[in-house]
Amino acid sequence: MDIVISGGGTGGHIYPALALIKEIKRHEPGSRVLYIGTEKGLESEIVPKEGIPFESVYITGFKRSLSFENVKTIMRFFKATRRAKRLIREFKPDVVVGTGGYVCGPVVYAASSLGIPTLIHEQNVIPGLTNKFLSRYADRVAVTFSGSASYFPQGKTVVTGNPRATEVAHADGRAGLVSLHVPSGKKYVLIVGGSRGAKAINEAVIQMAPKLCDYPAYHFIYVTGEVHYDKTMEAIKNQGGVPENMTIRPFIYNMPEVLAGIDLIVNRAGASFLAEITALGLPSILIPSPYVTNNHQEKNGRWLEEQGASRVITESQLNGSLLLAEIDAILRDSARVDRMRQAAKALGQPNAATLIYKELQAITCP
């Protein structure tokens, strides 16, 4: 299967694409892949490092309010579509996949206009503008959560989960904990604000730190993000030092293994992250970023909370005392932990990449 895949802007669109590419290669090692993104997105750095051929188109996103900039965006869209058509004609793919971000707009639209089978994947509970637009042209719409299905045309929409989940479903949790040199026999809490960290979460954990010694049954693993590490360490040391039941790291490179070994996660509510924790059946406290388009992180988090898998705290509510109280309220109630695990597991799809691969087979070999 020769495939053109497009997804960009953030890791939430890129890493599912890479997971899907791995799955296709696992089934069909001779498959050719071309990734089309933008030069300014993270994909221009991440994808070439994976040894995947990369091309770019120039496109920007629409403003949600009336703006002359939207006129320029329409012009860029048609120009990007023409370039995407040229790239697709030269590559001759069997199928074209879009995993999110506005770059998918011209790429998937170009493929559809050329009569090439297309699939788009929606990671968030509430779809973005690009996928809503593309759903009219795509042959298949794959969604991570069942709550998204009603936003797309019936008959072409399938609930598959997120391909990123496949990479964590069989991770070795014991190896993850050993790699961090944490003591055994504890309940483990992982606190992380995304790959780059989050200032609000860091501030809350700094407030919590002096009180952690009152909770010896728990071990707190705290990932600050590279840019916040030095300042955070200094602040905690000035308050009396790092508690014995706390491990602090600027970044964790083996995150799937660490996730598989913990009892509770505190994090943002990005789509790829939620796919990982639901695949593992991991209880969570979610602190959605208020700085994302269409406030989709809070909508993601509220969906999990409604299903009983999570507890949502907004940034406006967040402080160290509240966060520590919520962590303790969950972990000291084993029945609640079990309910949250079951609810999260019910939402997860550890075989997501395989399910999407099967959909690709179906639309290329009807």
- CA 194-196-197 angle, 5° bins: 65
Beta strands of the chain (E only): which ranges? 3-6, 33-37, 54-56, 95-98, 118-122, 140-143, 157-159, 187-192, 218-223, 246-249, 264-267, 284-286, 310-312
Residues 160, 175: one domain?
Answer: no
The pairing of strands 187-192 and 218-223 is: parallel
- 39 with 161, same domain: the answer is yes
Domain that residue 301 falls in: 171-347
Q: Judge whether 317 and 286 are in contact, CB under 8 Å.
A: no
219 and 161 in one domain?
Answer: no
Asked if residue 227 and residue 183 are part of one domain, the reply reads yes
Q: Is residue 261 marked as binding?
A: no
Q: Are residues 154 and 179 in the same domain?
A: no
pLDDT in tens, 124-153: 888 988 999 999 999 999 999 888 899 999
pLDDT digits (tens, 9 = 90+) for 177-231: 999 999 999 999 999 986 666 889 999 999 999 999 999 999 999 999 888 899 9
Gap between the Cα atoms of 188 and 182, Å rounded: 9
Query: 11: annotated binding-site residue?
Result: yes
Question: CATH number of the domain that 208 lies in?
Answer: 3.40.50.2000
Q: Both 153 and 176 in a single domain?
A: no
Residue 184, marked binder: no
Q: Kindly state the helix (H) or strand (E) to which residue 346 belongs, with its residue range.
A: helix 334-347
pLDDT confidence of residue 227? 84
Per-residue confidence (pLDDT) for residue 169, from 0 to 100: 81
Do 181 and 295 lie in a common domain? yes
Torsion sign, CA atoms 313, 326, 208, 197: negative
Q: Could you give the CA distance from residue 294 to residue 216 in angstroms, rounded to a whole number? A: 40
Asked whether residue 190 falls in the same domain as residue 309, the answer is: yes
Counting the structural domains of the chain, the total is 2
Residues 119 and 202 in one domain: no
Local confidence band at 64 (pLDDT 50, 70, 90 cut-offs) = low
Sequence letter at residue 296: H
What value, to the nearest 5°, has the Cα angle with vertex 234 and ends 232 and 238? 120
Span 307-325, pLDDT tens digits? 999 999 999 999 999 999 9
Q: Which residues, at least 6 apart from 285, have a Cβ–Cβ distance to it below 8 Å?
A: 264, 265, 266, 267, 310, 311, 312, 313, 323, 326, 327, 330
Confirm whether residue 361 is marked as ligand binding.
no
Does residue 238 sit in the same domain as residue 287? yes
> At 333, is the pLDDT very low, low, confident or very high (cuts 50, 70, 90)?
very high
Query: 297: annotated binding-site residue?
Result: yes
Please indicate, yes or no, whether residues 245 and 309 belong to a single structural domain of this protein.
yes
Same-domain check for residues 335 and 243: yes
| Cα gap 130→21, rounded to integer Å | 22
Work out the mean pLDDT of the chain and round it to a whole number.
92
Average pLDDT over residues 76-84: 94
Instruction: Give 26-52 pLDDT, tens digit per residue.
Output: 999 999 999 999 998 889 999 999 999
